[in-house]
Amino acid sequence: MERALCRGSERGSGLLSLGRGLLWALPAYAAGLLGLGAGALVLALALYTGWRRRRRNRERGMRLAAQLHGDEEAAVRGAAGRGELPAWVSFPDVERAEWLNKVLAQAWPFFGQYMEKLLVENVAPAIRASNTHLQTFTFTKVDMGEKPLRVLGVRAHPGAHKKQILLDLNISYVGDVQIDVEVKKFFCKAGVKGMQLHGMLRIILEPLLGDVPIVGALTMFFIRRPTLDINWTGMTNLLDIPGLSSMSDTMIMDAISSFLVLPNRLLVPLVPDLHEAAQLRCPLPRGVVRVHLLRARDLRSKDRFMGGLVKGKSDPYAVLRVGTQVVTSRVIDDNLNPVWDEVYEFIVHEVPGQEMEVELFDKDPDQDDLLGRMKLDFGEVLKARVLEEWFPLQEGGQGRLHLRLEWLTLMSDTSKLDQVLERNRTIVAKPEPPSAAILVVYLDRAEDLPMKKPGKEPNPMVQVSVQDVTRESKVVYNTSAPIWEDAFRFFLHDPMNQDVDIQVKDDPRQSSLGSLSLPLSRLLTAPDLTLDQPFQLQHSGPSSRLYMKLVLRVLFFDAPENGGPPPTPPGQPDPLTSTSGTQRPTHASPDPQFGTEHVLRIHLLEAENLIAKDNFFKGMVRGRSDPYVKVRVAGGVFRSRVIKENLNPRWNEVYEAIVDNVPGQDVEFDLFDKDIDKDDFLGRCKVPLRRVLSTRIVDEWLPLEEVKSGRLHVRLERLSPHPSTALLEQVLHTNSLLQPARGEDLAAALLSVFVDRAADLPLRKGSKPPAAFASLAVGTVTAKTKTCSPSTEPVWDEGFSFLSRRPHGESLELQVKEEGGQPLGTLTLPLSQLLATEGLAMDGWVPLAGGGPSSQILLRVQLGVLVSQQAEAGAGSVSLDGGDSVPQPTEAPGEEEGGAGGLRQRLLPTDSPPEQAEGPLGRLQLTVWYHGDERKLVAIVHGCRKLRPVSKELPDPYVSLVLLPDRSRSTKRKTSVQKRTLNPDFNERFEWDISLEEASRRKLEAHVKSPLSFMSREKEALGKLHLDLARVDLSEGGTHWYELQDERSSP
């Protein structure tokens, strides 16, 4: 049967091929039949080929357009090929919405009219009815001002389903609002004049309909508590007193949180009789995150004694905050490495967007000191299901926090309940046992509540309790049929044996209007674990009913199948590694995260339109600001210099930090105005670190948050270490060109050191083993391991990273010491040895000098060259250039020139002179280029080779530069003097603050001279160079050897 089918398919394919051949022969047959020549046949084939090619091109263009429309970033990166995109091409997650700000500005006066009508006609009567003392309350003035609300950025997210659109609006309101109120009975006047509000507002468009207006409702809420600042007037000026001011703003912020911060939300229906209104107003949570607060390490010491002379420790505790959910850990006294082992659970309503913020404080009698903070988006936990990391603390300068986070899924059946309860019994949790389920109570309304006094309507409110947790609803005044439309959420440890108790009371007398007790086991047998019905109230009226919906969900931990073991805490031995055996390991055993760090290069460029904070004569004369920036990343803080009296400052400073892939980290920028007493806040912005690590380069103008104007220009670049020296010289040369005038040299490599263990350390006092630790240093940067318990074979298992700026001349200095500081052995490892090894790494036992005869240490040391985008561009294509300018530059052997897309840069030559024939007076190596970011002409004098001595003694050469035609002191520069040499090396950089157009019209003159004697001011001329900058490509730069001319020769 199969053979017959095969023969049939072969015959079919043969007939198909024959048919195609006859089809192609048909035009030739038709041409012969009609008497047409071969030319007509060729013309017809040409027309057909052209038509088909055009059709294919059109189809290809339509496919590309569809790809670009579907995913612009992927399409552009695919079209760019393997090469990196230019720095100015970026795909920001947050988009500007200037069109929306223009709409808000035009609509703001009409919004003010609406607010006035709302406050006068709705809010004022409600306030008068709430209290007999406020029956004369009125709004005397409502003016929303001329400054509208601004939207600094908009970010769109895919919704949880197709009928939902999520928008995040970064809003900033710095308004001149004025609202005055009066209570005539007490002759009391008060008000607000000016207010600031900054925060992230989420708008959900849901449900999407198949009819106008397409969107059924708008849901609005703040994901996190916004920041608020109010300027009080009238009698409320008392609230501006320090202490009362923060109290008043906090009370108002609590009121806003109870209305607009998750889990609370504002629903605006756009269509009448929306069936999903109740569900949209109080939706079920997305999940629950169980947070294991384990321990912290290397916290800052904040306690000081005897006026700061004696340094103590800290008494740390943690505050965990998710929206309005806040918990506080216990205090660990006098410890910089506290261990809590506490478990907390948080309800998550929005993913992505909702964050957990953890702050560590030092407990003090007066004011607690901040030790650091970290933030984490719950979207990372949802993606990983289990996330356990040592998170670096921000704003504290140092320290790490060990957390384990588990995502618990909400299940609408009881099939996994027994499994959940069994697992929870194995968890030792403090301060509360782990939860097995959550209960959500939707409190809708009541009807026919009894009146305690004839003719007087009650003010009902509801108390809902589960075990010892009680929630209260709002008070609805003067009605026996209140509508609350509120929701309450409870964690349940054992839903089979717990009850929910409900009390309806008359506020403020708290007299009972009815009660209800419901066993939760009834919910376990209900369909979808839900009860939605009216409930008859006990001890109430005969027809008193409470309308509620109760929903129970089981919390199931769906652990990943191939989840790895928890990470080893830094400074602790790997539990899988046994140290009791006699056979020692031959290689170090670092954890998988070792050597995966990156270097973040932060180029702080400039700012625009900053706020003027310096005012004189009590604000009558408006000044400027003296701005500076604080940059926070990976637990470190960098501070820029202060730019005096400038609202558009330029810093052009570069900072470098070692970062890892731990989620939840940001690069934060805080701007301040430098003052004598307290520095004023000018705004802040941040960039998620994960975005820089994934895109490599972020070069953007960032709008400043929490202020009314200003933006900051930064360039962030991820430098990944490469275990190869192929581009090291190119990196060093590029760094010398990009080196800013202020700050440390740019890093050329990243050194990673893993200290595993030591062996055969000398005994202390002849018989006792030492309690040893290891200290490491590269240049001025130092680090140290933990101190192990007394042993001659301590195990540290700790990794460290250092930035290396000149790998050829730096060394790793390692000392093993006992707890008292007595040295037990030293090791000096020049990094040049690593440069000569394969893979730039060494792993094994190394003997310690100055210790016992067999003392040694087990290390893994690896070096990675940090190749920037400019260095890659400079090494992208190799070509030799013969100079054609006058004077002619000659290239040293091995020089390379970069192709388009970056600076044209060449490798520095060796110390030996070039092999080409030398000029009579020697040669000068010079780099000239224009630094576009700093707007400066830069000249680097590298050195001279084979200078010709004028006398029998060797000269003491130096190089003087002057920018012609101006010979004033402001254009002159001079290197240092090199003693008694014909081949001096200078490597000195000089700058002139001029524009690129002006620089191209100048001429650079260099004179190589030597002083005749210590007492004489006369100089001995060794040669000169006259360089016309109009004939030099200043925008790309280059390093050349130039022949020196006689001083008496004309230019």
DSSP state of 1037: -
Residue 954 has pLDDT above 50, yes or no: yes
**pLDDT range class, residue 249, cuts 50, 70, 90:** low
Cα(531)–Cα(522) distance, rounded to whole angstroms?
9
Reduce the secondary structure of 931-992 to three states and give it as a string.
ECCCCEEEEEEEEEECCCCCCCCCCCCEEEEEEECCCCHHHEEECCCCCCCCCCEEEEEEEE
Q: Which amino acid is at 164?
A: Q
Model pLDDT, residue 673: 92
Coil, helix or strand at residue 591 = coil
Model pLDDT, residue 902: 33
* C-beta separation of 1005 from 1027 below 8 A: yes
**Among 92-96, 166-170, 488-492, the range of highest mean pLDDT:** 488-492
Cα(993)–Cα(380) distance, rounded to whole angstroms?
47
Average pLDDT for the chain:
80
Residue 501 has pLDDT above 90, yes or no: yes
Query: How many C-beta atoms surround the C-beta of residue 89 within 10 A?
Result: 13
- Rounded average pLDDT over 1010-1019: 65
CA distances 126 to 89, 445, 505, 689, 941, Å, are 55, 19, 21, 48, 79
Structure tokens at 756: 């595993």
Give 370's Cβ-side CA count (13 Å radius).
10
Q: What is the pLDDT of residues 2-27, one digit of tens each?
A: 555 455 556 666 676 676 666 666 66
Q: Which of 544, 440, 446 is nearest to 491 (CA)?
A: 440
Q: Which of 816, 894, 809 is nearest to 851 (CA)?
A: 816
Of 1037 and 879, which is predicted with more confidence?
A: 1037
**Among 14-28, 438-452, 980-994, the range of highest mean pLDDT:** 438-452
CA distance between the termini of the chain: 97
Cα(184)–Cα(135) distance, rounded to whole angstroms?
9
Of 1038 and 404, which is predicted with more confidence?
A: 404
Model pLDDT, residue 749: 93
Cα(386)–Cα(557) distance, rounded to whole angstroms?
9
Cα(670)–Cα(686) distance, rounded to whole angstroms?
9
Model pLDDT, residue 289: 94
Model pLDDT, residue 917: 38
Q: What is the pLDDT of residues 354-391, one digit of tens each?
A: 889 899 998 888 888 888 888 888 888 988 889 988 88
Q: What is the pLDDT of residues 511-566, one digit of tens each?
A: 888 999 999 989 998 999 999 889 999 888 888 999 999 999 999 988 765 444 44
Of 28 and 73, which is predicted with more confidence?
A: 28
Residue 199 has pLDDT above 70, yes or no: yes
Cα(168)–Cα(178) distance, rounded to whole angstroms?
28
Model pLDDT, residue 868: 87
**pLDDT range class, residue 88, cuts 50, 70, 90:** very low
Coil, helix or strand at residue 644 = coil
Q: Which amino acid is at 948?
A: R
Model pLDDT, residue 484: 86
| Spatial strand order in the sheet of 627-633 | 636-639, 627-633, 666-673, 680-688
Model pLDDT, residue 918: 43
Cα(943)–Cα(941) distance, rounded to whole angstroms?
6
**918-934 exposure pattern, b = at least 16 Cβ within 10 A, e = fewer:** bbebbbbbbbbbbbeeb
Model pLDDT, residue 752: 93
Q: Which of 738, 735, 752 is nearest to 803 (CA)?
A: 752
Structure tokens at 770: 């030492």
Q: What is the pLDDT of residues 895-928, one digit of tens each?
A: 333 333 333 333 333 333 334 334 478 888 888 8
Q: What is the pLDDT of residues 579-595, one digit of tens each?
A: 344 567 888 888 877 88
Residue 925's φ and ψ, nearest 5 degrees, are -100, 125
Query: How many C-beta atoms surround the C-beta of residue 228 within 10 A?
Result: 16
CA distances 410 to 248, 284, 325, 436, 828, Å, are 39, 9, 19, 10, 57
Coil, helix or strand at residue 217 = strand
**pLDDT range class, residue 446, cuts 50, 70, 90:** very high
Model pLDDT, residue 60: 80
Q: What is the pLDDT of residues 404-435, one digit of tens each?
A: 999 999 998 888 898 999 888 888 777 888 99
Cα(300)–Cα(314) distance, rounded to whole angstroms?
7
Model pLDDT, residue 618: 57
Q: Which amino acid is at 969?
A: R
Cα-only R_g, the chain: 38
- Rounded average pLDDT over 788-806: 89
**Percent of the residues in the chain that have a pLDDT greater than 90, as a whole number:** 19
Reduce the secondary structure of 713-748 to three states and give it as a string.
EEEEEEECEECCCCCHHHHHHHHHHHCCCCCCCCCC
Cα(408)–Cα(385) distance, rounded to whole angstroms?
8
Q: Would you state the torsion angle of the CA atoms of residues 243, 244, 249, 250, taken in this order, to the nearest 10 degrees?
A: 70
What is the sign of the dihedral through the CA atoms of 579, 581, 584 and 588?
negative
Strands 437-447, 483-492: parallel, antiparallel or unpaired by DSSP? antiparallel
Q: Please enumerate in sequence order all residues whose Cβ is within 8 A of that of 98, keeping only pairs 6 or more positions apart, or say none.
A: none
Model pLDDT, residue 992: 87
Query: How many C-beta atoms surround the C-beta of residue 937 within 10 A?
Result: 24
Of 569 and 1029, which is predicted with more confidence?
A: 1029
DSSP state of 237: G
Q: What is the total residue count of the chain?
A: 1051
Model pLDDT, residue 575: 39
Q: Would you state the torsion angle of the CA atoms of residues 944, 950, 954, 958, taken in this order, to the nearest 10 degrees?
A: -40
* C-beta separation of 927 from 1039 below 8 A: yes
Residue 240 has pLDDT above 60, yes or no: no
Structure tokens at 589: 């055993």
Q: Which residues pair with 867 in a beta bridge?
A: none
Q: Please enumerate in sequence order all residues whose Cβ is within 8 A of that of 397, keeping only pairs 6 or more positions apart, or say none.
A: 300, 372, 635, 636, 637
**pLDDT range class, residue 751, cuts 50, 70, 90:** very high
Coil, helix or strand at residue 357 = strand
- This prediction has a pTM of 0.60
Q: Could you give the maximum distance between any two Cα atoms of the chain, in Å? A: 123
CA distances 154 to 101, 167, 168, 262, Å, are 11, 7, 6, 19
DSSP state of 641: P
Cα(724)–Cα(729) distance, rounded to whole angstroms?
11
